[in-house]
Amino acid sequence: MTAQTLDGQATLNEIKTELAARVAALKEKGITPGLGTVLVGDDPGSHWYVGAKHRDCAAIGIESIRRDLPAGSSQAEVEAVIDELNADPACTGFIVQQPTGLDEFALLSRVDPDKDVDGLHPVNLGKLVLGEDGLLPCTPVGSIELLRRHDVPINGAEVVVIGRGLTVGRPLGLILTRRSENATVTLCHTGTRDLAKHVRDADIIVAAAGVPGIITGDMVKPGAAVLDVGVSRVDGQIAGDVDASVWDVAGWVSPNPKGVGPMTRAMLLSNIVDIAEKQAG
Ligand SMILES: Nc1nc(=O)c2c([nH]1)NC[C@@H]1CN(c3ccc(C(=O)N[C@@H](CCC(=O)O)C(=O)O)cc3)C=[N+]21
């Protein structure tokens, strides 16, 4: 048996077509959505992600507002740019990428929660915990959307999430246990004593550990859906958390690259269009 591919690249293209129509309808009402990015430093990976996000925007009619700051920028310099984008009516929403070395919590908290298209502002994470509507983080929602669009059943499913990080594992556990998703979630992490024991029972496995090949075929229940979210670099190549042996056992696997990465970008675009539509009334 070989698993069905959860093709994130093809799904991104499908979602872009849908969003382009919604952006066109907004433009007829005189509204042009705009995505802002604040990028600090010269990490090549981060530059690639930000570039890809602006290319996605251009393809569907969203304006780009790009602010690249040099490595070593001060807290006050980054905060001034955040204040500027908070106040800019052309900026529907924005993200702050790679502020390593600075007080990240202070930066996140300074973003207007209504423009927080990363869904990582404490108000939006708090709303998620409280069960109120707010902006949601892109990678968890993109992972769920990838499953939905391939008809992988989520309601009642046993899901094992590996990784408790802020951008994926922790919010994903919260989203999947909402009534609207209704999954049973086991959240595994570096303190988990017997990972294989938990993974064995899962209908859906979300590997976001950042440990290359940590999920192997012998750990997976036949027919399970496996999402490979982990991104490591081995000899310059992207290495996911999912070993090649999983493809012979699983029912569905998301490749890496071209799996969850493009879906993260799709949900960023979707968050922007959602905000613009709400403003349009
Ligand atoms: N504030 C903030 N927001 C982010 O959304 C954010 C961030 N910081 N820091 C870094 C991570 C990483 N990230 C990715 C987005 C798309 C791909 C993606 O589309 N990757 C392609 C190709 C990757 C390649 O070939 O290099 C793929 O998976 O097929 C990957 C990674 C967003 N991030």
pLDDT in tens, 21-49: 999 999 999 999 999 999 999 999 899 99
**What pLDDT, on a 0 to 100 scale, did the predictor assign at position 99?**
76
Q: 138 in ligand 1 pocket by Cβ < 6 Å?
A: yes
Q: Based on the domain organization, do 145 and 252 belong to the same domain? A: yes
Q: Based on the domain organization, do 199 and 251 belong to the same domain? A: yes
Q: Based on the domain organization, do 142 and 255 belong to the same domain? A: yes
Q: Based on the domain organization, do 71 and 183 belong to the same domain? A: no
CATH number of the domain encompassing residue 253: 3.40.50.720
Q: Based on the domain organization, do 89 and 187 belong to the same domain? A: no
**What pLDDT, on a 0 to 100 scale, did the predictor assign at position 93?**
98
Domain that holds residue 36: 28-112
Is position 130 within any domain? no
Is position 251 within any domain? yes
Q: 257 in ligand 1 pocket by Cβ < 6 Å?
A: yes
- Residue from 12, 7, 33 nearest 277 by CA: 33
Is position 83 within any domain? yes
DSSP state of 276: H
| CA 28–ligand 1 middle distance (angstroms) | 31
Q: Based on the domain organization, do 108 and 184 belong to the same domain? A: no
CATH number of the domain encompassing residue 64: 3.40.50.10860
Is position 185 within any domain? yes
What's the domain count of the chain? 2
Q: Quote ipTM for the complex.
A: 0.93
Task: Tell me if residue 278 is catalytic.
Answer: no
Q: Based on the domain organization, do 246 and 171 belong to the same domain? A: yes
Taking 90 as the threshold, does the pLDDT of residue 135 lie above it?
Answer: yes
Q: Based on the domain organization, do 147 and 74 belong to the same domain? A: no
Q: Over range 54-61, report the average pLDDT.
A: 98
Q: Based on the domain organization, do 174 and 232 belong to the same domain? A: yes
pLDDT in tens, 243-260: 999 999 999 999 999 999
| CA 243–ligand 1 middle distance (angstroms) | 20
Strand order through the sheet with 34-40: 63-69, 34-40, 93-97
Q: Based on the domain organization, do 104 and 217 belong to the same domain? A: no
Q: Based on the domain organization, do 100 and 147 belong to the same domain? A: no
Is position 280 within any domain? no
Give the Å distances, CA to CA, from 70 to 80, 106, 109, 129, 216: 14, 19, 22, 35, 41
Is position 243 within any domain? yes
| Under 8 Å between Cβ of 261 and 8 | yes
Question: Domain boundary at 65, 95, 112, which?
Answer: 112
Taking 90 as the threshold, does the pLDDT of residue 90 lie above it?
Answer: yes
Residue 265 marked in a binding site: no
